[in-house]
Amino acid sequence: MKRAAALGFGVFQTPPEETAEAVATALRTGYRLVDTAAAYMNEGAVGEAVRGSGLDRSDVFIETKVWISDFGYDETLHAFDKSSRKLGVDYIDLFILHHALPSDFDRTVDAYRALERLLAEGRVRAIGVSNFMPSHLRALGNARRSCRPSTRSRSTPTSSRRTSSGRTRPKGP
């Protein structure tokens, strides 16, 4: 499996009409990881930029995320189909649950099980979670069947916070 680049280009809050050019510029500059999400409503523009870049698909690591409205086993499988169609790809490198759904955590677990299926079928190369609290990770860990989920956090010079132990960690939404 190809490794994710250490530095990626994210398109959170990038308007769809600006996304294709922004991603194309990032790819020309040397970025090889593009981070999008169904909730950003710009997956189609990301796919357009990747296809138009002249790069082999295997040279670009694409990460996207499932929004909570698409949690549940069948719903998440359908979300993969929608995302891969919008991106115009046969596989997604990293497919992530965007947030936990604490009010109906069984749907979160079912969504993760759908990710496991997609991984087993080779439709995704890696799976994981984003913006999960430690309690959510423990609950998911108790219910999962596969390997430890990848966790994703964003860290910028202005987005860190102190933990109860005094260490700095990324500030999540």
Q: Catalytic one among 31, 40, 91, 112?
A: 40
Q: Which helix (H) or strand (E) holds 114?
A: helix 105-120
pLDDT in tens, 116-159: 999 999 999 999 999 999 999 999 988 875 545 454 545 444 54
Q: Say whether pTM exceeds 0.85.
A: no
Q: Is 73 a catalytic residue?
A: no
Instruction: Delineate the domains of the chain, giving CATH numbers in brackets.
Output: 9-170 (3.20.20.100)
pLDDT in tens, 50-79: 999 999 999 999 999 999 999 999 999 999
